[in-house]
A = this chain, B = another copy of it.
């Protein structure tokens, strides 16, 4: 079998594993996958020499559509504010649809994500890389003034966390909306900078 054939097999088995998880409502390993598909274990092992390879392939399949919308947004010539909104909003819409179409399977992926966090790291890193680009574009237009890119990255990710974190999307689903996300992005673009404008204060609980 060529490397291409094995890649195709890997993708097909990963999708079968996901369909199986949806049907059964539980995690799948190589043994279960072989038994359920009625194929030789050796064939599954050819695609996934280690148990971890199956998990990695499933994670990849799960993230692929989220990466696709991020890529699509990054390629546009929208102004930075619109671009950053779309960057988060389109991913959020996908996650919300995933959740609403099948809450139980979504929760299963959330639990797996907590247990096998390392497989998701590549995708999180890529999203952060894209967001840094967006921040640089916004800063060139005078937004996020004086903030180090990594500080701005952290502040923005924290402020919109409930629109990107699957656990939170499942938890507060009905309270989230594109309209609210847009308000938050507008607030960050117009109000976020390195300047201390008095929130923190230096005097404890006495008025200045």
| Contact surface of A with B, Cβ cutoff 8 Å | 72-73, 76-79, 81-82, 84-86, 89, 147, 151, 154-155, 158-159, 161-162, 165, 167-168, 175-176, 178-201, 205-208
Query: Which residue on chain B has the smallest CB distance to residue A184?
Result: B159
A191-B187 CB under 8 A given contacts A76-B207, A207-B78, A207-B79 = yes
Report, nearest first, the 6 A-B pairs whose CB atoms are least far apart.
A191-B191, A187-B191, A190-B191, A182-B200, A187-B192, A185-B199
How far apart sit A161 and B201, CA to CA, in the bound complex (Å)? Answer: 21
User: Is A200's CB under 8 angstroms from B85's CB?
Assistant: yes
**How many copies of the polypeptide does the oligomer hold?**
2
CB-based contact B162/A207 at 8 Å = no
CB distance from A51 to the nearest CB of B (A): 25
Cα of A188 to Cα of B185 in the assembled complex, Å: 10
Of chain B, the residue at the smallest CB distance from A69 is: B205
- Say how far A137's CB is from chain B's closest CB, in angstroms: 13
Given contacts A159-B187, A189-B191, 13 further A-B contacts (CB under 8 A): A76-B206, A78-B206, A79-B198, A147-B183, A151-B183, A155-B180, A158-B180, A168-B168, A179-B200, A183-B194, A183-B199, A186-B193, A190-B191
Minimum C-beta distance from A168 to chain B (A): 7
Which residues of B are found within 8 Å of A188, using beta-carbon distances?
A: 187, 191
Provide the bound-state CA to CA distance between A147 and B77, in Å. 31
- The one of B77, B78, B167, B187 that contacts A187, using a Cβ cutoff of 8 Å: B187
Chain B residues with CB below 8 A from A165, complex form: 168
* CB-contact partner of A77 in B158, B182, B199, B207, under 8 A: B207
